[in-house]
A = this chain, B = another copy of it.
C-alpha cells in the first residue's frame, strides 16, 4: 500500500431520510510533502457512528454539519508512516479525528499517541477505550448521575455505546440493568455476555409494556440511544426523581416527517424527572477519569466487547448504512489498511 495517495469519502448531497450511495463519493488524492510539525498516518481502523447522520444535515447543533464536496471527518486510529514532528515517531500508534480516509495527514497536534495494550486490538480505541466508552461513562455517571443500587434501562443496548453502558452500570453497582435490542441474537447476548439482568426485543411488543414487565419496581435511570417509543416507555416507568441521559435518537435520524414526541410528558412534572441531552464535546473534563477507570477495568478483565468489522475504505459508506439498519453488534469499524 502506498501512502503517497489517500482515498477519501466525501458527502456530495444532504440525505433526505435514509441516505443512499448517491449522497457520497470516493476520491483519491495525491498527498503533498509534509510541512514542518506534521505527520502522515496510515490508518488501520476508521469509525462509523450514529451521530454522523446528524452531521449530514444542515442544522444547528453542537457539532457543525459536514460540508458538501469535502471529505468527512470522524474517529480513526493508525500508525505514523512519516513525521516532521519531534513528538511523533514512525511506527507510533495515533488516535485522531481525520477519519473517513485510508491515509491522513496534518498538524501533529491533532494526532494523539496512545499505548499499545497487550491483547487489545487497536480498534478498541475507537470503541470501549475511546469516545464510545466515554459516551457511555459520561452519560451514565455524569449526566444521569447513576448511583449504587439504582435500576437502569438502556435502549440500543447491543450497540457500541449500549454494551459499554450496561457493563459500566453493573461495575458501578446498579441493582438491576435492563436492555432493549432489535434481534433475538442481540437480546440473548445482553443477558449471556454483557451482564444485563433482563432484556427484550423491542419488535416483539410495545416497548412500554415490555419495560413494565422487565422493571416491576420502575426505573431510576434511562440511557437513551433510540428516542421515540423507548423514551415514552421510560417516562412511563420512571420512579420519582428519575434521570434520563439522552445520547441519540436513531429512530428519528432518518425520519422525513415530524415524529410526535412522548404522549406522557406531564410525568416529567409530577414525578420530578430530569431529561438531559448531551454530546461528548462539552464534557472532556471527565475524559481522564474515564480513561483511568476504563483502562483499569480492561486490565482486570472486567470488560467484554464485540466488534463488527467491515473491510476496506470502499465499503465505508455501506458500513455506515449497516449501522443505521442496526446490523452491528458492539462497535462498527472499517478496517482500511494494514501497517504490515
Whether the Cβ atoms of B274 and A279 lie closer than 8 Å is no
Residues 260-299 (chain A) with a chain B CB within 8 angstroms = 260-279, 282
Task: Say whether A61 faces chain B, with CB atoms less than 8 Å apart.
Answer: yes
| Contact flag A227-B277 (CB < 8 Å), given A260-B260, A260-B261, A271-B61 | no
State how many angstroms separate the Cβ of A314 from the closest Cβ of chain B.
30
Copies of this chain, whole number: 2
Whether the Cβ atoms of A272 and B265 lie closer than 8 Å is no
A249 to B266, CA, bound (A): 6
A129 to B274, CA, bound (A): 27
| Contact flag A252-B266 (CB < 8 Å), given A240-B62, A260-B261 | yes
A54 to B253, CA, bound (A): 35
Among residues of B, the one whose C-beta sits closest to the C-beta of A249 is B266
Given B261, B267, B277, which contacts A269 in the complex, CB threshold below 8 Å? B277
Whether the Cβ atoms of A227 and B265 lie closer than 8 Å is yes
Among residues of B, the one whose C-beta sits closest to the C-beta of A55 is B270
Given B247, B249, B268, which contacts A277 in the complex, CB threshold below 8 Å? B268
Given B60, B267, B271, B276, which contacts A274 in the complex, CB threshold below 8 Å? B276
Whether the Cβ atoms of A277 and B273 lie closer than 8 Å is yes
Total contacting residues, chain A, CB less than 8 A: 40
Task: Say whether A325 faces chain B, with CB atoms less than 8 Å apart.
Answer: no
A272 to B276, CA, bound (A): 7
Contacts of A248 in B (CB 8 A): 269
Task: Say whether A205 faces chain B, with CB atoms less than 8 Å apart.
Answer: no
Residues 223-245 (chain A) with a chain B CB within 8 angstroms = 227, 231-232, 240-241
Contacts of A60 in B (CB 8 A): 270-271
Whether the Cβ atoms of A270 and B276 lie closer than 8 Å is no
Among residues of B, the one whose C-beta sits closest to the C-beta of A255 is B266
Among residues of B, the one whose C-beta sits closest to the C-beta of A258 is B263
Q: Which of A227, A240, A266, A275 has the most CB of B within 10 A?
A: A266
State how many angstroms separate the Cβ of A73 from the closest Cβ of chain B.
17
Task: Say whether A246 faces chain B, with CB atoms less than 8 Å apart.
Answer: yes
Contacts of A264 in B (CB 8 A): 258, 261
Given B61, B62, B262, which contacts A265 in the complex, CB threshold below 8 Å? B262
Task: Say whether A259 faces chain B, with CB atoms less than 8 Å apart.
Answer: yes
State how many angstroms separate the Cβ of A66 from the closest Cβ of chain B.
14
A259 to B276, CA, bound (A): 22
Q: Which of A59, A60, A263, A269 has the most CB of B within 10 A?
A: A269
Whether the Cβ atoms of B270 and A54 lie closer than 8 Å is yes
A260 to B266, CA, bound (A): 11
Contacts of A261 in B (CB 8 A): 232, 260-265
A253 to B270, CA, bound (A): 11
Contacts of A270 in B (CB 8 A): 54, 59-63, 277, 279
Name 13 extra pairs, CB < 8 A, besides A61-B271, A259-B265, A260-B263.
A54-B270, A60-B271, A61-B270, A62-B270, A246-B268, A252-B265, A258-B263, A261-B263, A268-B276, A269-B277, A269-B279, A274-B274, A274-B275
> What are some 13 contacts across the A-B interface (CB < 8 A)?
A59-B270, A62-B270, A62-B271, A63-B270, A232-B261, A258-B264, A260-B263, A261-B263, A268-B276, A274-B274, A274-B275, A274-B276, A275-B275
